[in-house]
Chains A and B, each alone.
Chain A
Amino acid sequence: MRERMNQTRLRASTDLPEPVAAHRHPALAVTRLHARQLFSYRSDPVPGSWQAVAPVPDLAAAVPSIYNGGLGASGRSYVIHLRRGAAWDTASDTTPARPVTAHDVVRGLKRLCTQFYRSTALPYFLTAVRGMADYRDGHPASMRTAADLADHANTHDIDGVFALDDHTVVVEVTHPAADIIDLLALPCASPAPVEYDAFLPESPETRRNLRSNGPYRPTGISGTGVVLEPNPAWVPASDPIRSRHLDRITITSDQADQAGQADLDLRTDDEPRSPLLGLEYLALNTRGRLRDRAARLAVAAATSRSARSIIPPGNEGHQDQADEPVSTPLPLPVPLTLAHLDSPDARTTALSVAADLITVGLTVHLRPLTHAEHAALLTDCGKAEAGEWDILVNTWFPDWAHGNARAFLLPLCHSAHAPGGHDDPRIDELIDTALAEQDTPARSIPALQEAERRALASAMVVPLSYRQPPAPSRPVAVLSALGGVADLSNLRPEPGAEPTPLPAPREISEVSR
Chain B
Amino acid sequence: MDVIEAGLRGQSWEKVRTLFALDPDTVHLNTGTMGALPHRVLEVVDQATRQWSGSLVDIYPPGLYPEHRAAIAKAYGVDQDEMVISHNATEGMARVIHGLDLRAGDEVVTTSHECYSVLSNLNLLRHRHGIVVNTITLPTGYDVRAEDIVESFAAAITPRTKVLAFAGITLFTGTMLPIRALCELAHRHGLTTVIDGALMAGMLDCDFRATGADFISCSGSKFQCGPLGTGLLYIRNKVHPEHNPLPLPEFWPIISTWYPMQGTPPPRTTTSVESCNIGDFVQSAGSASIARGAALAAACELWDEIGRDRIERRIFELAEHARSRVAERFGTAAMYSPGDDPRLRSPLIAFHPFRDRADAWNVKKVAAFVSRLETEHRIWVRWTEFDVPGSPHQHYAARLCTHIFNDHDEIDRAVEVMGKLAEQLS
Contact = CB atoms under 8 A, between A and B. Distances in A.
Contacts, number: 52
Nearest to B119: A73
Interface in B363-389: 363-365, 367, 382-383, 385-387
Interface string A325-344: 00000000000000000000
Contacts of B127: 441-442
Helix, strand, loop or mixed for chain A's interface? Answer: loop
A94 B385 CA distance: 44
Interface string B315-328: 00000000000000
Nearest to A78: B394
Interface stretch (A165-173, A293-301, A367-375): A165-173
Contacts of B120: 66
Helix, strand, loop or mixed for chain B's interface? Answer: mixed
Given A73-B119, A79-B363, A442-B130, 12 more contacts: A66-B120, A72-B386, A72-B394, A73-B386, A74-B387, A130-B392, A164-B363, A164-B365, A170-B363, A442-B127, A511-B364, A513-B383
Nearest to B118: A73
Most buried by A among B112, B365, B382: B112
B393 A77 contact: yes
B251 interface: no
8 contacts: A72-B386, A73-B116, A73-B386, A164-B362, A164-B364, A170-B363, A513-B33, A513-B382
Interface residues of B, number: 25
Interface string B105-135: 0000000111010011000001100100000
B282 to A, nearest CB: 27
Interface string B84-102: 0000000000000000000
Interface string A70-101: 00111011010000000000000000000000
A81 B363 CA distance: 11
Contact of A73 (B361, B387, B393): B387
A69 B387 contact: no
A172 B392 contact: yes
For the complex of A and B, 10 pairs with smallest distance between CB atoms: A77-B394, A72-B394, A164-B364, A511-B367, A72-B385, A74-B387, A66-B116, A73-B112, A164-B362, A168-B364
A76 B394 contact: yes
A440 interface: yes
A170 B363 CA distance: 9
A69 B130 contact: no
Contacts of A205: none
A441 B119 CA distance: 17
Interface in A218-274: none
Contacts of B116: 66, 73
Nearest to A167: B364
A160 B394 CA distance: 11
Nearest to A440: B126
B16 to A, nearest CB: 29
A172 B392 CA distance: 8
Interface of B: 33, 112-114, 116, 119-120, 126-127, 130, 137, 361-365, 367, 382-383, 385-387, 392-394
A159 interface: yes
Contacts of A76: 392, 394
B118 to A, nearest CB: 9
Contacts of A159: 392
A193 to B, nearest CB: 23
B393 A172 contact: yes
A74 B123 CA distance: 12
Contacts of B385: 69, 72
B119 to A, nearest CB: 6
Nearest to A66: B116
A187 to B, nearest CB: 27
B387 to A, nearest CB: 5
B138 to A, nearest CB: 11
B56 to A, nearest CB: 42
Nearest to A441: B127
B307 to A, nearest CB: 33
B114 A160 contact: no
B128 to A, nearest CB: 10
Contacts of B394: 72, 74, 76-77, 172
Contacts of A168: 363-364
A73 B130 contact: no
Contacts of B387: 72-74
Most buried by B among A73, A130, A160, A511: A73
A73 B382 contact: no
A380 B365 CA distance: 42
Most buried by B among A72, A160, A164, A165: A72
A439 to B, nearest CB: 8
A382 to B, nearest CB: 32
A511 to B, nearest CB: 5
Nearest to A159: B392
Contacts of A442: 127, 130
Contacts of B33: 513
A444 B260 CA distance: 41
Contacts of A511: 363-364, 367
A159 B385 CA distance: 19
A442 B105 CA distance: 11
Contacts of A74: 112, 137, 387, 394
A423 B114 CA distance: 44
Given A74-B394, A130-B392, A165 B364 contact: yes
Contacts of A72: 385-387, 394
Contacts of A79: 363
Nearest to A439: B123
B392 A160 contact: yes
B361 A170 contact: yes
Nearest to B120: A66
A77 B126 CA distance: 22
Contacts of A69: 363, 367, 385
Interface string A164-194: 1101101010000000000000000000000
A69 B137 CA distance: 19
A498 B273 CA distance: 72
A402 B283 CA distance: 39
A66 B386 CA distance: 12
Nearest to B33: A513
Contacts of A164: 362-365
Contacts of A165: 364
A203 B137 CA distance: 46
B373 to A, nearest CB: 13
A511 B321 CA distance: 30
B380 to A, nearest CB: 11
A159 B361 CA distance: 13
Contacts of B392: 76, 130, 159-160, 172
